[in-house]
């Protein structure tokens, strides 16, 4: 693979000469001014502001990069810090950051390992999924049983300070590095909770965070039994675990199913397609709207596991990405009733590309459209039945959203019995 390169502009500060610096300092400043002039000439030659088509290695003059590299080698106070990996990773990271998309990220080998660990369900930290929303580090979802959940962090909370350092304007990966750390150590966060803008400071002890992909249980509603299957993430093995849970549901005498996607921040697109395919016989799951009208339509596999069971899906403001694809598809196809709160609204597609040396590039390549053409990135999914759940209800283990799902499923059971009694079965 051809080496990645970047055009970087470094403005060398004009050093004011104070009395006593001597002729040596004056000479060095003169030399820096000459070198800065050369850099300006190189920058002018690159044709700044021009969109480059074709192979940039053939059309872009990156002499500026090498000139700055040499200047650092010659003048920087601590030359031992100028390792090749540090400079190359910094240059590539700067190139990707210049795109201006918070979801398009260059990951060093260390970042790549953290990313892969998070998808496998194992990491060390506070257990919260974060996103960059309008330049602010925002909580998407606290993971169940995590230090973040116990400390009271909620979706949409805005983190402003980490260990006393203001993180406004910082890239998301920088903030994540500050928050993560070895288990047993602490981190102090200052966050704002809209709409009150009240500031709260909490100190959390980092832990080994293991996120179970799937949890399931059955609950009674009078004479009937309902299954509740919770999917916490779309990770490496999540769909295999979910299939096992749904196989168990299919083997029981349950009258309805609650699929809980609350606080599920998403994951693999393929997992979302697989999940919808468990319940829907035919049709579209999602349209991946790429550049230059190169759209991809993802359809169900055509062999559903539970095509007829009454289905309610729970979402909240922590349901994002692949969770929104599932909820949007099941809502548009009228296969399920969506209950809870407005979802997060993360509607773009990222592909992860392997780079030499263990690095990765996560790059935005498309946006998601539901079967009815709704852009998930604009406002997410609006529930059919809107039910709030306050922090106080959460702390007291009260769940009005799950209660509403049980009531709805019970109503479906009553309606099914009535239509069966009349000799006509409809759904």
- Among all residues, which ones are annotated catalytic? 321, 332, 346
As a whole number of angstroms, the distance between CA 408 and CA 337 comes to 9
**At residue 246, what are phi and psi to the nearest 5 degrees?**
-70, -30
DSSP string covering 129-196: EEEEETTEEEEEEEPTTSHHHHTT--TT-EEEEETTEE-TT--HHHHHHHH---TT-EEEEEEEETTT
Q: How far apart are CA 384 and CA 260, in angstroms?
A: 15
Distances 404 to 219, 309, 328, 385, 388 between C-alpha atoms, Å: 14, 17, 19, 8, 11
**187/163 Cα distance (integer angstroms):** 6
Torsion of the alpha carbons at 350, 333, 240 and 114, rounded to the nearest 10: 20
State the Cα–Cα distance between residues 225 and 253, nearest whole angstrom.
7
**Using CA atoms, how far apart are residues 370 and 345, in angstroms rounded to an integer?**
12
Beta-ladder partners of 132: 137
Cβ atoms of 145 and 325 closer than 8 Å: no
Task: Report the 10 Å Cβ neighbour count for 307.
Answer: 15
Cα(386)–Cα(382) distance, integer angstroms: 8
Q: Output the six-digit token pair for 346.
A: 């993360």
Helices 84-97 and 63-75: crossing angle in degrees, nearest 10, is 140
CA pair distance 268, 82, nearest whole angstrom: 37
Whether the Cβ atoms of residue 218 and residue 226 lie closer than 8 Å to each other = yes
Compute the distance between CA of residue 182 and CA of residue 68 in angstroms, rounded to an integer.
36
**3-state secondary structure (DSSP) of residue 219:** strand
């Amino acid at each position: 693979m051809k080496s990645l390169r970047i055009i970087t502009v470094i403005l060398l500060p004009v050093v004011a000469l104070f009395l006593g610096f001597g002729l040596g300092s004056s000479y060095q400043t003169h030399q820096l001014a000459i070198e800065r002039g050369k850099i300006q000439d190189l920058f002018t030659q690159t044709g700044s502001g021009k969109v480059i088509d074709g192979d940039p290695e053939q059309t872009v003059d990156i002499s500026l990069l090498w000139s700055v590299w040499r200047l650092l080698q010659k003048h920087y106070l601590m030359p031992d810090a100028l390792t090749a990996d540090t400079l190359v990773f910094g240059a590539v990271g700067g190139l990707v950051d210049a795109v201006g998309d918070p979801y398009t990220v260059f990951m060093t080998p260390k970042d790549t390992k953290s990313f892969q660990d998070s998808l496998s369900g194992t990491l060390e930290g506070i257990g919260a999924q974060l996103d960059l929303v309008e330049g602010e580090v925002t909580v998407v979802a606290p993971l169940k049983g995590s230090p973040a959940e116990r400390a009271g962090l909620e979706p949409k909370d805005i983190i402003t300070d980490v260990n006393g350092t203001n993180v406004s304007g910082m890239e998301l990966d920088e903030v994540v590095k500050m928050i993560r750390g070895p288990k047993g150590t602490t981190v102090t966060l200052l966050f704002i909770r809209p709409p009150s803008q009240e500031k709260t400071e909490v100190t959390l002890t980092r832990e080994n965070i293991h996120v179970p992909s799937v949890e399931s249980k059955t609950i009674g509603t009078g004479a009937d039994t309902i299954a509740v299957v919770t999917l916490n993430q779309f990770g490496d093995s999540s769909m295999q675990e979910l299939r096992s849970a749904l196989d168990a549901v299919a083997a029981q005498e349950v009258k309805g199913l609650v699929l809980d996607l609350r606080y599920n921040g998403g994951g693999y697109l393929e997992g979302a397609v697989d999940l919808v395919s468990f319940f829907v016989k035919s049709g579209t799951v999602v349209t991946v709207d790429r550049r230059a009208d190169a759209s991809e339509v993802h359809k169900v596999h055509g062999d559903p596991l539970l095509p007829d069971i009454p289905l309610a899906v729970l979402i909240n403001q922590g349901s994002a990405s692949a969770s929104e694809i599932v909820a949007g598809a099941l809502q548009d196809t009228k296969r399920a009733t969506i209950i809870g709160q407005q979802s997060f609204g993360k509607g773009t597609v990222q592909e992860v590309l392997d780079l030499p040396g263990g690095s990765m590039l996560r790059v935005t390549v498309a946006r998601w459209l539901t079967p009815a053409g709704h852009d998930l990135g604009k406002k997410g999914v609006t529930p059919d039945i809107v039910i709030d759940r306050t922090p106080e209800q959460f702390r007291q283990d009260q769940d009005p959203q799950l209660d509403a799902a049980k009531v709805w499923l019970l109503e479906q059971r009553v309606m099914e019995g009535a239509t069966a009694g009349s000799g006509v079965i409809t759904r």
